[in-house]
Chains A and B, each alone.
Chain A
């Protein structure tokens, strides 16, 4: 994602059980500077409090039973640490699939 010295407004959307358990459907987070994924999680924690633990483990990493897409593209969990966000990015947080 590109650099943005003025910060970014990132739209987050939660799906299925995460939407119910987090108590959030959609939210727009304002991030300062050149935000990375950790910045997003820190800002999200300000909104949802301890419920952040539903999607983040004790090491501050996304839990293995959660998947994430940015602007409609799935992101490999191994790439999250280096993920940079830009203004108007759309981040979807989803449980692992269980269809069929």
Chain B
């Protein structure tokens, strides 16, 4: 397992290569790439700015990965998330999962991405042509 929250993402193909070496039982690699979108409704987004709790964010993500390894029987996973300014069109988040079969990979990928977005203490601010907005979570409770 590898979890990284920092200003830059590692090369995606090197991450795939790392995961491929982790087991001879791998039959599927599922990948999510989060990209900064250039619009907010009708507004043009100029960039995003990400802030994270430096110690808690990786800790929470590692716990989520451990949960999903148990639940979906995936072999391993890598999660990387950027902090700081990220320009439109740039990658902001990589989630890679290796599993024996695609079914558990797809299920785990969806859940892992969703849980990272809603549980890991990372926050984003949209800078648009018209203003600056912190993106608020829609959840009512922790």
Contact = CB atoms under 8 A, between A and B. Distances in A.
Interface of A: 15-17, 20, 64-65, 67, 69, 72, 74, 76-77, 92, 94-100
A96 B119 CA distance: 8
Interface stretch (B8-16, B20-28, B48-56): B48-56
Interface residues of B, number: 32
B113 A100 contact: yes
Given A96-B142, A99-B124, 12 more contacts: A65-B137, A65-B140, A67-B142, A95-B136, A96-B137, A98-B122, A98-B134, A99-B81, A99-B122, A100-B34, A100-B92, A100-B124
Contacts of A20: 134
A99 B136 CA distance: 10
A94 B136 CA distance: 12
Given A15-B51, A17-B134, A100 B117 contact: yes
A97 B57 CA distance: 10
Interface string B106-142: 0000000100111111111100000000111101111
Contact of A65 (B59, B117, B136): B136
Chain A to chain B: the 4 pairs with minimum beta-carbon distance, closest first: A99-B122, A96-B137, A16-B123, A100-B117
